[in-house]
Structure 1
Amino acid sequence: MRLFVFGLGYTARAFIRSSLPWSRIAGTVRQSDKADRLAKEGIVAFPLDAADSGQLAEEIRRADALLVSAPPAIDGDPLLARFRDAVAGAPRLAWIGYLSTTGVYGDRGGAWTDETAPAQPQSPSSQSRRAAEQGWLALGEMTGKPSHIFRLSGIYGPGRNALSNLARGAAQRIVKPGQVFNRIHVDDIASILVASLGCPRAGAIYNVGDDEPAPPQDVVTYAAALAGIAPPPEIPFDEADLSPMARSFYAENKRIVNRLVKDELRIRLRYPTYREGLEALYEAGEFAQAA
């Protein structure tokens, strides 16, 4: 089986590591030096902006599965426009997975939110994600190739977690009363994608999050306790030094329901809460290696 990936980044690489023994893995990256590094792992990577469209189209037409992990632009998903015909003409393509975000639900005032809730994206990036979701679902329906949407919560894992942030001195305990977020370990995302690949359902939309939406300051406090250090001081949200994008995350408050991946895909999360995830990362030396 052949896999093609738009966006050979953090999550896509976890999927590749845990997935089937592909006969060929190809995809796109942003920088040519990353393409060179991936070549040493047996992955054929093309710098997207410099790649020949015909060569990429041929790789797509020969694929059995397609994972879309690259974000759309504000004015639309350029991948849909550029490679629609190649995807439509891929004779063996039996699974398309599009990685989206739970941000498409907008603010729910802390309410529990499942896949039946209407999408009401607020930020420009979430609005673009929702438009891209609709585009990939429409393409799947038009071509008869099963398209699936995976709405991801906050991703963490090796190198991207509260422990490594503490070790680098970058962790903040920002407090906004009532604010909670779901998270999801990258390895659990990979397991969900693999399960979907084994039982495609055209038009499926899945929430991908853990079992316990929690205040962000609690996660940092727990990580500090694991590391045996004092947590950083609490910072009121109104006083926090945050980028516009980070601040926009706090404008939305919801609790994500993940029941569908459990019932339909028979998933048992390896890291059902941030505690199991951080404990495993600490045991793997995450804090010590980043310090």
Structure 2
Amino acid sequence: MKNTCLILGCGDIGKTLGTQLIEAGHRVIGARRNPEQLALSGIEPLTIDLNDPDALKTLPEADIVVYVVSADRFDEQAYQAAYRDGLKAVLAEFDERSHKPKRVFFVSSTSVYAQQDGETVDESAQTQPTGFAGQLMREAEQTLTDHSLPGTVVRFSGIYGPGRDRLIQQVREGRIAAATPPMYSNRIHRDDCAGVLSHLIAKTLNDEPLEDLYLASDCEPVPLHEVMAWLAKRLKVETHEVIQSPLRRRSSKCCDNSRLLETGYEFRYPSFREGYAQVLESANQGRRTQKA
């Protein structure tokens, strides 16, 4: 019998995850406000507004629920609705049902960390977010951790991949981060985001134990200057402007993914080099296709 996986907020990561789950033999339902783009992927589309209490009653039964909702704008009200309140409402809905999910996964962010001096952080590191985004994300995490339904929080670091090319565009413009003091950055390719979730879902369905929190970042925290210098060399551009960012100190930390690796997950793109090489090649293929 197929397991049913419900992906709430089925955007870029959700669609990639859904494709992997379908290949593994599962039924996948993708819920979002505008799900039309999901039809060709094999994911069953479901139109829903998760902030509508009546709409939650229409959610199908599911063995796995993945909450990967994104706020529709960067302000406190939108973040509260998308993360803390939305997740709380979904958990309440499924908790009332006789068929409860085997596990709920909540996609969180390393924005919950406030470390700023290049410290190493893992799942046990202190979280004291200073901005509303990190604070509300942390509240949502706690909502799941404290709930009676089995749940796992996955904290992703900076997500990049096809279509997520802001850093590449900055380098093309000749911009680069300062070399000193080093601003440590962390990232994970979009395909590894989906891969991590698929891996943890498989362990759940095989009745293997999971922790309630995983930090998902690639295997090489590295100064942002090094990443941009590597991109400049690959793009064959000269950098002439040093980026001055007021967020520089707040974002400098090194993410330790040891707990995730101990589950047996193998990264498709273990560092920025493999990942950005794929992004650049994908962009080149797209340009060649347009010219053909």
TM-score (norm 2): 0.81
SS at match of 1:44: strand
Which residue of 2 is the match for residue 44 of structure 1? 45
Which residue of 1 is the match for residue 176 of structure 2? 173
Q: Distance in 2 between matches of 1:109 and 1:84?
A: 36
After superposition, where does 1:99-248 map in structure 2 within 5 Å? Answer: 99-139=107-147, 142=148, 145-161=149-165, 165=169, 172-175=175-178, 177-200=181-204, 201=209, 204-227=212-235, 229-237=236-244, 247-248=246-247
Which residue of 1 is the match for residue 251 of structure 2? 252
TM superposition shift of 1:96: 0.9
Percent pairwise identity: 24
Q: Distance in 1 between matches of 2:223 and 2:58?
A: 46
Aligned residues: 270
Indicate if the aligned counterparts of 1:159 and 1:286 stay in contact, CA closer than 8 A: no
> Which of the residues 78, 84, 87 maps onto 1:80?
87
TM superposition shift of 1:231: 3.7
5+ residue gaps in structure 2?
72-77
Q: Distance in 2 between matches of 1:123 and 1:258?
A: 24
TM superposition shift of 1:113: 1.1
Query: Structure 1 stretch 87-96 or stretch 110-119: which is displaced more?
Result: 87-96
TM superposition shift of 1:75: 4.1
Q: Distance in 2 between matches of 1:127 and 1:234?
A: 33
Query: Could you say if the C-alpha distance between residues 185 and 286 of structure 1 is closer, same or farther in structure 2, counting changes exceeding 3 Å?
Result: farther
Query: Could you say if the C-alpha distance between residues 281 and 24 of structure 1 is closer, same or farther in structure 2, counting changes exceeding 3 Å?
Result: closer
Which residue of 1 is the match for residue 9 of structure 2? 7
Q: Distance in 1 between matches of 2:17 and 2:27?
A: 15
Which residue of 2 is the match for residue 97 of structure 1? 105
SS at match of 2:269: coil
Q: Which amino acid is 2:19 matched to?
A: R
TM superposition shift of 1:187: 1.2
Query: Could you say if the C-alpha distance between residues 52 and 180 of structure 1 is closer, same or farther in structure 2, counting changes exceeding 3 Å?
Result: closer
TM superposition shift of 1:216: 2.0
5+ residue gaps in structure 1?
241-246
TM superposition shift of 1:150: 0.7
TM superposition shift of 1:130: 0.2
Query: Could you say if the C-alpha distance between residues 271 and 152 of structure 1 is closer, same or farther in structure 2, counting changes exceeding 3 Å?
Result: same
Indicate if the aligned counterparts of 1:147 and 1:202 stay in contact, CA closer than 8 A: no
Indicate if the aligned counterparts of 1:146 and 1:202 stay in contact, CA closer than 8 A: no
Which residue of 2 is the match for residue 244 of structure 1? none
**Could you report, residue by residue, the CA deviation over 1:113-145 in whole angstroms, capped at 9, with x for unpaired residues?**
111112111211000100000011222xx2xx3
Indicate if the aligned counterparts of 1:71 and 1:129 stay in contact, CA closer than 8 A: no
TM-score (norm 1): 0.81
Q: Distance in 2 between matches of 1:289 and 1:217?
A: 28
Q: Distance in 1 between matches of 2:40 and 2:202?
A: 28
**Could you report, residue by residue, the CA deviation over 1:1-21 in whole angstroms, capped at 9, with x for unpaired residues?**
222222112222221122233
> Which of the residues 272, 275, 282 maps onto 2:273?
275
